[in-house]
Amino acid sequence: MTGYKSISLKDGAQAILKDHDDDASVLALLNVIIQEGNTYPQRDPLDIEGFRRYWLSDRAYCVWVHDRLVGAFFLRPNHPGRCSHIANGGFIVHPDWRGQGLGRLMGEAALEIAAKLRFQALQFNLVFASNLPSLKLWLSLGFTIIGRIPQAVALDDGRYEDALLLHRHLDAP
């Protein structure tokens, strides 16, 4: 796909959602997010092979503003076999581009794509309870909190944080 979806961001920039097309750029961005320590479970940066195993196991997408990667996400079955009708996804936004509407662009696109792929629901298994921007976005897109995992996240400062499970049923395309 050349350009799946295009929107104007809050600052007026034009963002284009495309199929994944740049391992190195997404890996670099994911490692920035991992190093922040606020949203992903990994402690250490991924190498290219680890990235491909984690991020590219099924469908992946990138968001570009001109020639700069500003966001990315993946979709895949949450579990294999009898449970493969429920999708799972992971989303990242470049720190310099947060608050511009990229999360909503990717979230809306993910819901649409997952439905077209015939998934019946989209579920997130590990949303850090302190990730309020993410929670606000997903709740606004119709997700519900279906569970809480106490002290699921070991933070770098030695504290523990709960993680939430979010779920949304998908309408047929």
Q: What domains does the chain contain, in order, with CATH numbers? A: 5-169 (3.40.630.30)
The beta strands (E) that lie in the chain are given as 5-8, 14-19, 59-65, 68-77, 86-93, 121-128, 144-154, 160-169
pLDDT in tens, 80-116: 999 999 999 999 999 999 999 999 999 999 999 999 9
- C-beta of residue 17 within 8 angstroms of C-beta of residue 6: yes
User: What does R_g of the chain's alpha carbons equal in angstroms?
Assistant: 16
pLDDT in tens, 37-77: 999 999 999 999 999 999 999 999 999 999 999 999 999 99
Quote the pTM value: 0.93
Distance CA 137, CA 65 (A): 21
Distance CA 130, CA 169 (A): 24
